[in-house]
Structure 1
Amino acid sequence: MTLSEEAESRLEDLVALQPTKNSELQDRWSMDSGSDVHQYLESELKEYYYRDEDSLIRATPEAADLVGMDVGEDIVRVPELQARILDVIAGPDEDPQSVVSVLHALREETDLDPDTDSVRSGLRSLEDKGVVEVISKTVPTFRLAVERADLQVEVLDDPVEA
């Protein structure tokens, strides 16, 4: 199956962001709804994706080969906000942080000024990728699930800013 330039670009996003959710692709692709994402995936990329046991969207090995992207477990490809979260969040042996604590760290240590919902969403996406864990207390708190030195983080271009 030959893909259009748009479909190949979106397949690259899918491979890079996996595991991902409709909402993350919706934001990335500037679509109106998760339903639009699902419809696009089914109509244009059906052969190249599947949903895992947690209903997260994953690319097939053929998709990664087609776009020429390494999908090693030590590579985490994330949007800018998530990359900065990884820079400031507590390490695996430190006390975990609340969403608000991570938000304050981002504002103090970077030039970003995200809202609470963006930070919460970013933390949940990083949890889906297995690099952040949730430690449940009165409120959910977060910390790295792996050593910072063991991560190779690649920041994806933001298509909205491009």
Structure 2
Amino acid sequence: MTLSEEAHSRLADVVELQPTKNSELQDRWGMDSGSDVHSYLTGQLADYTFRDDNSLIRATSEAADLVDVEPGVEPGEDGDGVGTVRVTALQADVIEVLPGPDERSKSVVAVLQALREHTDRDPEVDEVRSALQRLRRQEAVEVEYRSVPTFRLAVPREDLTVEIKD
């Protein structure tokens, strides 16, 4: 199947953002709804994308070879857990201020306060929440539910390679 230039570009987005969801692709592609994204995926990219057990959108290995883009997540050297994540600068800063896997997890607001205290960032709470959820989908961050959801790194900081993409 030959892909149009637009389809090739959008497939590269899926590879880069995976695991991802409709709303992220909707924002990236400037579409009006998640339904539009679903229709595009099933109509134009059905041979190259699939939904995993958590209903997140992923690209096939053939797709990654076709577009020659690094996937958003690469497994660690032992094949168990995350080794490399490709993230935005804000997400990289979130990783820096999050507690490690053996430490007490922090709420979204506590992460926001840590960002404001330890970086020159002053993001909105929704930006921090979105960054944490993206890192969670990449399996770099885990959530613990207490009175509110709280977050910490899923792997030791030294076992995680962070590459910033812009």
TM-score range, shorter chain: 0.7 to 0.9
C-alpha spacing 1:111/1:5, structure 2 compared with 1 (3 Å) = farther
* RMSD of aligned residue pairs (Cα, Å): 1.6
How many residues align? The count is: 157
Unaligned runs of 5+ in 2: 76-82
Partner Cα distance (2:31, 2:164) in 1: 21
- TM-score, normalised to structure 1, is 0.87
Equivalent positions of 1:141-160 (< 5 A) are 141-157=150-166
- TM-score, normalised to structure 2, is 0.85
Unaligned runs of 5+ in 1: 158-162
Equivalent positions of 1:103-122 (< 5 A) are 103-122=112-131
C-alpha spacing 1:84/1:63, structure 2 compared with 1 (3 Å) = same
Partner Cα distance (1:86, 1:9) in 2: 28
How far the C-alpha of 1:123 sits from its partner, in A, is 1.1
Match of 2:47, SS state, is helix
How far the C-alpha of 1:70 sits from its partner, in A, is 4.5
Partner Cα distance (1:44, 1:155) in 2: 29
Equivalent positions of 1:83-122 (< 5 A) are 83-122=92-131
Match of 1:81, SS state, is helix
Equivalent positions of 1:8-157 (< 5 A) are 8-71=8-71, 72-73=74-75, 74-157=83-166
Task: Summarize deviations over 1:85-123 as a string: whole Å, max 9, x none.
Answer: 112211112221100011112222233322212211221
Partner Cα distance (1:12, 1:26) in 2: 14
C-alpha spacing 1:44/1:113, structure 2 compared with 1 (3 Å) = farther
Match of 2:93, SS state, is helix
C-alpha spacing 1:40/1:80, structure 2 compared with 1 (3 Å) = farther
